[in-house]
Amino acid sequence: MQPAIAPTTAIEPTRLCDYRPPAFWVDRVDLQVELFDSHTVVTATLALRRNRQSAQSLDLVLDGAAELQLLAIHCDGEPLSPDRYQRQGETLTISGLGESAELTTRVQLDPAANTRLEGLYRSRAMYCTQCEAEGFRHITFYPDRPDVLAEFRCRISADKQAFPVLLSNGNCVASGDLDAGRHFVEWHDPFKKPCYLFALVAGDLAVVSDSFVTASGRTVALKIYVEEKDLDKCDHAMRSLKAAMAWDQQRYGREYDLDLFMIVAVDDFNMGAMENKGLNIFNTSAVLANPSIATDATFQRIESIVAHEYFHNWSGNRVTCRDWFQLSLKEGFTVFRDAQFSADMNAAVVKRIEDVSLLRTLQFAEDAGPLAHPVQPQSYVEINNFYTVTVYEKGAEVVGMLHTLLGERAFRQATDRYFEHYDGQAVTIEEFVSAMEEASGRDLQQFRQWYWQAGTPELDCHWQWHEATGMVTLTVAQQCPPTPGQATKVPFHIPIRVGMVGANGDLALSADGATEQLLELTARRQQWQFGPFTEPPVPSLLRGFSAPVKLHVDYSEEQLLHLAGCDSDGFNRWEAMQQLYQLAVHAALAQGADSPVSAPLVARFEQLLNDPHLDAATAAQLLTLPGESELFERWQPIDPEKITAARNSVRAQLVAASAESVRSRYYALQSDQPYAPSSDQIGQRALKNTLLRYLCEFAQGEPLAVAQFQQADNMTDQLAALTALLAAADSSAAGAALSSFYQQWRHEPLALNLWFRAQATAPGVEPQQLRALLQHPDFSLTNPNKVRSVVAAYAMANLGQFHRRDGSGYQLLAEVIIQLNAINPQIAARLVVPLTAWAKFAEPYRTAMRENLAAIGNCGELAKDLAEQVEKSLGG
Ligand code: B3K
Ligand code: ZN
């Protein structure tokens, strides 16, 4: 159980401005972890050295969670007398140490009781660890901060039959048998690292092995450890790993450093995966796949997460963070790197569209709510609450803007410089930006505001065509709304890629013939001239979404249709369609859901369906309306019922008007090729299944879905048929499909999660059906994947149902959060996010959301994870 705090307790935040270097360094640490059925004993010996640069007190302060049972403490081989150490809260303070010392502590812990899944815990039949951000203090007493880098040795012992495989970071240096059926394995990691990168695994695991030869000719052994039953689900992760290793060498000149790289799949895990040095630990959902149990989306997610964790070996491990305020140094940069990798492996424009949709859906909402914070936060109560879309995805956009401003060549010089100069160190975002400045000779002072100021900048754009001269004047003004603690903002440095589109496509912007230009907006308002042109062009602005901003441009429907058809920038063609859909939803909101969708949009929709030159993946994106949450950001106070109805009315009319084209394209996309997660096939299935869903919802497509469900030879098609049936206006077939799916997959937890999720996101699901899922024998509140499949899916991906006028959706969420507070505070704190946006909603939603938030706040003892989120969003 998490040590609890009363809801009224004022929580003292940790502040960036209070950062001080540590009083002691740890040069080496020797860990002995003895795993027993009933408990675990950890003996840690730290080689300590006083930090002469530190102005800290003379005492050594170690972190150690309250549940650690201290069995013994020695200094330089002698028992430490009780007057030289003191335990208080989460710390152990030791006085009277000289310049260096060898400190040994022995503690006892109970991994089986650890449901927080932080520190050392049990997942099914195995033991594993999660130390980032502050999990290591739940394993032993230690300076649990990322700027203390040490060389780790770890000796694990356990029952040999139950735990034949014992793993830790680095290289295996010794192993052998012990008495009473036990054995040990000893690991040594030659690279100094902060304790958040420590990992340990013990279990009865099977392994898939492969190898990779690095650019300099070293052979690296690659191993994926899983439960025996999952051996047939590792190929894709292994392929992705090798592709990532090759890509990082080629694109960033980064080679892997150890002789062994291991991945372990764990079923109970708070997030996707963790980049522990040489021993990445993965959520089963982010590593295991084969065509029968995993969808295309899962295959792509695995490719990107395997790459992300691998890329951390340089951006995060070799060069790490000085403190947790620098989290985006490793996360923003690494997300940027994994996005580049995925774009290279798949359809680049589609990847960009997906990333921008995610940013707009989740990050813009975060930036506009009570939990808004800069990419580099200034303070936190619970660091786990700052693994956010702002730190990750907006952080990646910021690195992407540096890449755009510097260009590929200077950017690569800067990253080379950064990796080489800071190798083996714990550094700050400032060092990263300085490396960019030094390599490019550019002044990025104003650019740093992207790290310091929260909120999404808004750009107002106007253009004027001067017929007499043929010139176009473009005026752009920026402003950024206030965010908590930041009432006013200074202007950002914003890269804006622009083109001008004429009747037959892109026009030359000036005499030099270039058709695209990078504008740098640095003032509050700026003007640029383009031309001369012989015809009035339509500006194509912010191509490729060159900055994470909201753009306001007064395009007419005709101009948007023109951009949607002729812009050379694939992203902006999609963007123009999105704007057209928004106009249609806006009209339905203003004039009532029955008002007819404009004829040109209907015609364009049908044209897209029949365009033989358009690739399927892009077509699927172009035929999809902005999601509810994106529309929610647009019309406030939010009336979910009205927005959902308006969106559905537009969808229904578009499909009804082109039903025959939808149907014939669906037929044309049938394929008998054997399944492969290739980007061509993924695109075709995406389009086919988008159309199937339309047919089921609006054009009596159930028989098609039933047939697809029965004939599918892969999970993508099977699940798409199931969710389409669940969305059908009247589907008697949905029930049968659900039970057949359950019978088929009840013994495959990952496939079963899809079954839970399909029901939780069904447009017609009622709260009592959700309650039944929570009671289902295969559901468990202690397994985060199950919680995400049911509860997070409902509250974050079924907005039409979650936001019920009677507030019953909110109440259900609050009840689950209160239970989870005592089981797994990290997961509880993530689930509360949908309620925190209450102030943006119309009545009666607003009051109901707020009341449920208050109910959580008053439920008794809140873990600090949840307390921080609730207090911030209630304005406390
Ligand atoms: N670094 C981990 C996230 C740790 C989250 C701790 N609450 C995974 C990743 O971003 O690669
Ligand atoms: Zn990461």
DSSP 48-64: EEE-TT--S-SSEEEE-
**235-252 helix and 327-345 helix, angle to the nearest 10 degrees:** 110
In a domain, 737, yes or no: no
Under DSSP, the state recorded for 490 is P
CATH number at residue 389: 1.10.390.10
Q: What is the distance between the alpha carbons of residues 410 and 440, in angstroms, rounded to a whole number? A: 6
Q: Whose CA is nearest to atom 1 of ligand 1?
A: 274
Q: What is the pLDDT of residues 92-132, one digit of tens each?
A: 999 999 999 999 999 999 999 999 999 999 999 999 999 99
For residue 810 the two structure tokens come to 């909110």
Q: Whose CA is nearest to atom 5 of ligand 1?
A: 132
How confident is the model over 674-697, as a mean pLDDT?
A: 98
User: Residue 446: its pLDDT value, please?
Assistant: 99
- Say yes or no: 71 and 97 in one domain: yes
Distance of CA 597 from the midpoint of ligand 2 (Å): 43
The atom of ligand 1 lying closest to the CA of 270 is 7
Does the pLDDT value for residue 266 go beyond 50? yes
Q: What is the distance between the alpha carbons of residues 439 and 406, in angstroms, rounded to a whole number? A: 9
In a domain, 850, yes or no: no
Rounded alpha-carbon distances, angstroms, from residue 163 to 178, 199, 232: 13, 16, 22
Q: Which of 547, 582, 598 is the last residue of a domain?
A: 547
Q: What is the distance between the alpha carbons of residues 839 and 138, in angstroms, rounded to a whole number? A: 37
Q: What is the distance between the alpha carbons of residues 185 and 165, in angstroms, rounded to a whole number? A: 9
Q: What is the distance between the alpha carbons of residues 160 and 204, in angstroms, rounded to a whole number? A: 9
User: Residue 594: its pLDDT value, please?
Assistant: 86
In a domain, 820, yes or no: no
How confident is the model over 736-752, as a mean pLDDT?
A: 98
Q: What is the distance between the alpha carbons of residues 756 and 653, in angstroms, rounded to a whole number? A: 30
Q: What is the pLDDT of residues 640-649, one digit of tens each?
A: 999 999 999 9
Q: What is the distance between the alpha carbons of residues 419 and 439, in angstroms, rounded to a whole number? A: 13
- Name residues whose C-beta falls within 8 Å of residue 686's C-beta, 6 or more positions apart in sequence: 296, 616, 617, 620
Q: What angle do CA 219, 345, 363 make, to 5 degrees?
A: 115
Does the pLDDT value for residue 3 go beyond 60? no
Q: Whose CA is nearest to atom 9 of ligand 1?
A: 274
In a domain, 638, yes or no: no
In a domain, 681, yes or no: no
Q: What is the distance between the alpha carbons of residues 618 and 611, in angstroms, rounded to a whole number? A: 11
- Say yes or no: 431 and 474 in one domain: no
- Say yes or no: 66 and 163 in one domain: yes
Does the pLDDT value for residue 689 go beyond 50? yes
Q: Whose CA is nearest to atom 8 of ligand 1?
A: 274
How confident is the model over 662-689, as a mean pLDDT?
A: 97
Dihedral sign, CA of 74, 75, 79, 80?
A: negative
Q: What is the pLDDT of residues 343-379, one digit of tens each?
A: 999 999 999 999 999 999 999 999 999 999 999 999 9
Residue type, 300: Q
- Say yes or no: 427 and 486 in one domain: no
Does the pLDDT value for residue 600 go beyond 70? yes
Supply the mean pLDDT for the chain.
Answer: 97
- Say yes or no: 55 and 140 in one domain: yes
Q: How confident is the model at residue 2 (pLDDT cuts 50, 70, 90)?
A: very low
SS3 225: strand
Bridge-partner residues for 862, per DSSP?
A: 5
Q: Whose CA is nearest to atom 7 of ligand 1?
A: 384
Q: Do the beta carbons of residue 410 and residue 161 sit within 8 Å? A: no
Distance of CA 309 from the midpoint of ligand 2 (Å): 6
> By percentage, how much of the chain surpasses pLDDT 90?
97
Pocket test for ligand 1, best of 198, 331, 869 (most atoms within 8 A of CB): 331
Q: Whose CA is nearest to atom 4 of ligand 1?
A: 132
Q: Do the beta carbons of residue 786 and residue 776 sit within 8 Å? A: no
Residue 225: is it exposed, middle or buried by C-beta count within 10 angstroms (0-12/13-18/19+)? buried
Q: How confident is the model at residue 6 (pLDDT cuts 50, 70, 90)?
A: very low
Residues annotated as catalytic (active site), given as ranges: 309
Q: Do the beta carbons of residue 831 and residue 814 sit within 8 Å? A: no
Distance of CA 146 from the midpoint of ligand 2 (Å): 15
For residue 634 the two structure tokens come to 């647009």
CATH number at residue 540: 2.60.40.1840
CATH number at residue 140: 2.60.40.1730
Q: Which of 517, 547, 577 is the last residue of a domain?
A: 547
- Say yes or no: 385 and 423 in one domain: yes
Does the pLDDT value for residue 8 go beyond 70? no
Pocket test for ligand 1, best of 117, 336, 341, 387 (most atoms within 8 A of CB): 387
The atom of ligand 1 lying closest to the CA of 312 is 11
Q: Whose CA is nearest to atom 3 of ligand 1?
A: 274
- Say yes or no: 334 and 421 in one domain: yes
Counting ligands in written order, the one closest to the CA of 337 is 2
Counting ligands in written order, the one closest to the CA of 329 is 2
Which residue's structure tokens are 């919680």?
A: 787
Distance of CA 165 from the midpoint of ligand 2 (Å): 26
Q: Which of 547, 573, 608 is the last residue of a domain?
A: 547
Counting ligands in written order, the one closest to the CA of 286 is 1
For residue 451 the two structure tokens come to 């790290």
- Say yes or no: 429 and 497 in one domain: no
Q: What is the distance between the alpha carbons of residues 344 and 236, in angstroms, rounded to a whole number? A: 17
- Count other Cβ atoms within 10 Å, centred on residue 83: 8
Rounded alpha-carbon distances, angstroms, from residue 847 to 199, 766, 803, 828, 838: 45, 21, 12, 21, 8
- Say yes or no: 381 and 288 in one domain: no
Max distance between CA atoms of the chain, in angstroms, equals 95
Range of the domain at 467: 458-547
Does the pLDDT value for residue 729 go beyond 90? no
For residue 481 the two structure tokens come to 């709304």
The atom of ligand 1 lying closest to the CA of 272 is 8
Distance of CA 874 from the midpoint of ligand 2 (Å): 30
SS3 459: strand
Number of domains in the chain: 3
The closest of 414, 398, 416, 418 to 406, measured between CA atoms, is 414
Q: What is the pLDDT of residues 489-515, one digit of tens each?
A: 999 999 999 999 999 999 999 899 999
Residues having CB within 6 Å of any atom of ligand 1: 132-133, 271, 273-275, 308-309, 312, 331, 384, 387
- Say yes or no: 227 and 100 in one domain: yes
User: Residue 469: its pLDDT value, please?
Assistant: 97
Q: What is the pLDDT of residues 132-181, one digit of tens each?
A: 999 999 999 999 999 999 999 999 999 999 999 999 999 999 999 999 99
Distance of CA 489 from the midpoint of ligand 1 (Å): 30
Q: What is the distance between the alpha carbons of residues 358 and 505, in angstroms, rounded to a whole number? A: 29
Beta-strand relationship, 150-159 and 24-35: parallel
Counting ligands in written order, the one closest to the CA of 333 is 2
Q: What is the distance between the alpha carbons of residues 497 and 499, in angstroms, rounded to a whole number? A: 7
The atom of ligand 1 lying closest to the CA of 383 is 7
Q: What is the distance between the alpha carbons of residues 862 and 2, in angstroms, rounded to a whole number? A: 9
In a domain, 555, yes or no: no
How confident is the model over 445-469, as a mean pLDDT?
A: 98
Pocket test for ligand 1, best of 121, 269, 271 (most atoms within 8 A of CB): 271
H or E segment and range at residue 224: strand 219-226
Half-sphere exposure for 801 (CA within 13 Å, toward CB): 23
SS3 754: helix
What phi and psi, each to the nearest 5 degrees, are found at residue 857?
A: -60, -30
SS3 672: coil
> By percentage, how much of the chain surpasses pLDDT 70?
99
User: Residue 56: its pLDDT value, please?
Assistant: 64
Distance of CA 541 from the midpoint of ligand 2 (Å): 31
How confident is the model over 845-850, as a mean pLDDT?
A: 98
In a domain, 395, yes or no: yes
- Say yes or no: 538 and 513 in one domain: yes
- Count other Cβ atoms within 10 Å, centred on residue 355: 19
- Count other Cβ atoms within 10 Å, centred on residue 175: 13
Distance of CA 611 from the midpoint of ligand 2 (Å): 39
In a domain, 865, yes or no: no
For residue 132 the two structure tokens come to 């980032």
- Say yes or no: 160 and 279 in one domain: yes
For residue 76 the two structure tokens come to 């330089």
User: Residue 11: its pLDDT value, please?
Assistant: 73
Bridge-partner residues for 63, per DSSP?
A: 91, 142
Counting ligands in written order, the one closest to the CA of 133 is 1
User: Residue 10: its pLDDT value, please?
Assistant: 59
Strands (E), 446-574: 458-466, 471-479, 494-502, 505-506, 517-521, 525-530, 538-540, 550-553
Q: What is the pLDDT of residues 372-399, one digit of tens each?
A: 999 999 999 999 999 999 999 999 999 9
Q: Whose CA is nearest to atom 2 of ligand 1?
A: 274
Bridge-partner residues for 185, per DSSP?
A: 156, 175
- Name residues whose C-beta falls within 8 Å of residue 69's C-beta, 6 or more positions apart in sequence: 107, 108, 109
Bridge-partner residues for 104, per DSSP?
A: 45, 74
